[in-house]
Amino acid sequence: MPQKNDKLEKCFDEGKKGGERHQGIRETKPSKEAENGHLAKALHNFRAMADFHGLRYSDWSASAAFYTLYHGLLAILAKQGYESRNQSCTFALVEHLIAKGEVKNLTAADIKEIFDKETTENLEHSTKILDIRERMQYSTQTSLAEEEFKLLKARTKELLDKIRLELER
């Protein structure tokens, strides 16, 4: 079990509660089946980004981009022997594994781009994947500008490629 900070302690404590419906992190055996399942879901979501865009529902492309990367990170955790049912716990554990050198193909900056709850001063012009997703999900806007979609897709692919390299390691 990793030496945990306060956030991770709470996440692991939550993982001990609630049986199958827990809301935290649990240590498990590394699972190739779960790893492959999360990677398949990540790839499915990546394809959905383009499909939503093509159907002129690119607001949903932003959510698909976020969940592409989130399921990729869940695949990494499954490979390492963890199960997470909480987004902030997932990101905290991946950051911890990066800091310990157990995840080598991603950086803390990559994780902050995907999931950084610190307020971005200008949400409207942020390029962080979480900010784009939240702006599209919670605003009345129904489409991404073409250039923004292209940047989002390219960055999502770049980060997904890093996740896949980590899984192949």
Task: Encode pLDDT of 110-141 as tens digits.
Answer: 998 888 755 444 445 566 788 888 889 888 98
CA 26 to CA 14: how far, in whole Å? 9
User: What are the tens digits of pLDDT across the range 58-90?
Assistant: 999 999 999 999 999 999 999 999 999 999 999
Output the CA angle 162-23-164, nearest 5 degrees: 10
pLDDT of residue 119: 46
CA 169/CA 149 separation, integer angstroms = 30
pLDDT of residue 41: 98
Domains, the chain, ordered by start: 27-168 (1.20.120.330)
Task: For residue 83, give the 3-state DSSP assignment.
Answer: strand
- Average pLDDT taken over every residue of the chain: 89
Tokens for 60, please give them. Answer: 């949903």
Half-sphere exposure of 121 (CA within 13 A, CB side): 0
Query: Structure pTM?
Result: 0.89
Question: Which of 131, 28, 118 has the alpha carbon at shortest distance from 74?
Answer: 28
Q: Is the pLDDT of residue 152 over 90?
A: yes
